[in-house]
Chains A and B, each alone.
Chain A
Amino acid sequence: MDIRKQVLTNYGDWFTRFGDIWKTQLLQLGQRFVTEIELIRTPPVDATDVPIIFVKKNALLSILLFLKEEPGFCYDFLSDITATDEENEPRFEVVYNLFSTTKFNRIRIKTRVKDGEDVQSAVDIWPAANWAEREIFDMFGIKFLGHPDLRRILMDERFQGHPLRKDYPLRGYQIFTEPEPVNAELLDSGARK
């Protein structure tokens, strides 16, 4: 038996199922955004992954909006936003996983961010980006311009540093025994509407 042969998974026929949609979409994207797209990485035939499109940071919002609103794309559902800390510069990759509830296929957008740079917030396109961007800010310290409420979401608000950065020590314990201070703006009687 040839152990190098790829095992077909349940997702193994993705490219045959969605290959045509992806092909036309990627072609259309490449024609529309000639300079903004840095690289398109398509999955192999027996893929368990989706196409990855690397875009320039300043064109990110226009491409995301295009993907959502263009009739041939209809990526109306934001599955997740996440980020990775790479070893080389530019340091971070912000990853947008999109899903189309009408065409049932997925696509992934990546943009590279240097340390200390900001990214445009996608809250205006998908409201679901709110908490995901807060999580990225909490874990990586990437700031999102135009975000309505960019606070920490997982860690204690007295926590120093961003724990998913590679230079944060794995055992960098910060233990607080006093409760978190009450933020009056977040209470029902507060000034926030």
Chain B
Amino acid sequence: MSKDGAFGFLTTRLAELVNWGRKNSLWPLPYGTSCCGIELMSALCSDYDISRFGAEVVRFSPRQSDLLIVAGIINTKMAPVLKTIYDQMSDPKFVMSVGACASSGGIFNVYSVLQGIDTVIPVDVYVPGCPPSAEGILHALLRLQVMVSRGDTHSQKRIIGSRKSHTLIDQIRV
């Protein structure tokens, strides 16, 4: 509705509308295990204020969240835990790997550390740095929003690939 009270029109595809809503209301699950987790807290708090991008509703239950932010080192003993948490999240789900340790194992090239969480779960956005700054996390969130609106994330592609026909309902689900 415009200022003079006249109705305007906005035409769009339903799937794009759904993705627009989805990208602006990401609910993160903070999986902070070390110093990257501190930077993540900084990004969540009022100095950097991740709520400007609609992602401030931090949920500690995988059932209620759709963005898994892995911030910190993941030991090999944590790998099954991480996999379980990822499996418990409902589709579509997105994964952000924050910092060198989560992305590649970082400096810890030993038997006890997972060499990147992408050996266990698919990752959509990587944030380089040791630890990355809070701006880096916000930048990754903006990149992820672009990917979500285009349907480029692993989870969205997987859902499309698992269906044979492209019905309208499928597009909405994605």
A176 within 8 Å of B (CB atoms): yes
Chain B 111-128 interface residues, beta-carbon cutoff 8 Å to A: 111-112, 114-115, 119-120
Chain A 139-193 interface residues, beta-carbon cutoff 8 Å to B: 154-156, 163, 168-180
CA distance in complex: A118, B161 (Å): 57
Q: Is the pair A180, B111 in contact by a Cβ cutoff of 8 Å?
A: no
Q: Is the pair B111, A177 in contact by a Cβ cutoff of 8 Å?
A: no
The minimal Cβ–Cβ distance linking A164 to chain B, given in whole angstroms, is 10
Q: Is the pair A173, B120 in contact by a Cβ cutoff of 8 Å?
A: no
Residue from A163, A176, A178, A179 within 8 A of B111 (CB atoms): A163
Collect the chain A residues with CB atoms within 8 Å of residue B77's CB.
154-156
Collect the chain B residues with CB atoms within 8 Å of residue A180's CB.
80
Q: Which of B79, B81, B111 has the most CB of A within 10 A?
A: B111
The minimal Cβ–Cβ distance linking A19 to chain B, given in whole angstroms, is 41
- Inter-chain pairs besides A170-B109, A171-B109, A174-B76, 19 sampled, C-beta below 8 Å: A154-B77, A155-B77, A156-B77, A163-B111, A163-B112, A170-B110, A170-B111, A171-B110, A175-B79, A175-B120, A176-B76, A176-B80, A177-B83, A177-B120, A178-B80, A178-B83, A179-B80, A179-B84, A180-B80
CA distance in complex: A173, B80 (Å): 14
Q: Is the pair A175, B111 in contact by a Cβ cutoff of 8 Å?
A: no
B72-110 to A contact mask, C-beta < 8 Å, 1/0? 000011011101100000000000000000000000011
Q: Is the pair A173, B76 in contact by a Cβ cutoff of 8 Å?
A: yes
Residue from B81, B84, B110, B114 within 8 A of A175 (CB atoms): B114
Q: Is the pair B76, A169 in contact by a Cβ cutoff of 8 Å?
A: no
Q: Is the pair A169, B80 in contact by a Cβ cutoff of 8 Å?
A: no
What are 15 A-B contacts defined by CB distance under 8 Å? A156-B76, A168-B111, A169-B111, A170-B110, A170-B111, A171-B109, A172-B111, A173-B76, A173-B115, A174-B76, A176-B80, A177-B79, A178-B80, A179-B84, A180-B80
